């Protein structure tokens, strides 16, 4: 008798913070990138662009 093995395979994309709160990481990266470009941001300023798409954040700053 032949056994068929089934393997569950899944990928979870957590882009909206449902499983992991990634906002602190994004804020730090936002500060580093914009500071490197001469646009001086700090932690409190990043809250102004929370929830915006990347292209919207670039336009904003």
For the annotated catalytic residues, the residue numbers are: 14, 16
Q: What letters, b where the CB count within 10 A reaches 16 and e where it falls short, cover 21-35?
A: eeeeebbeebbeebe
Structure tokens at 2: 């032949």
Q: Which residue has the tokens 């700053």?
A: 61
């Amino acid at each position: 008798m032949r056994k068929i093995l089934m393997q569950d395979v899944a990928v979870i994309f957590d882009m909206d913070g449902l499983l992991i709160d990634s906002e602190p990481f994004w804020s730090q990266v936002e500060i580093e990138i914009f500071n490197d470009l001469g646009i001086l941001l700090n932690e409190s300023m990043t809250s102004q662009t929370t929830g915006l798409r990347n292209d919207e954040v670039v336009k904003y700053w």
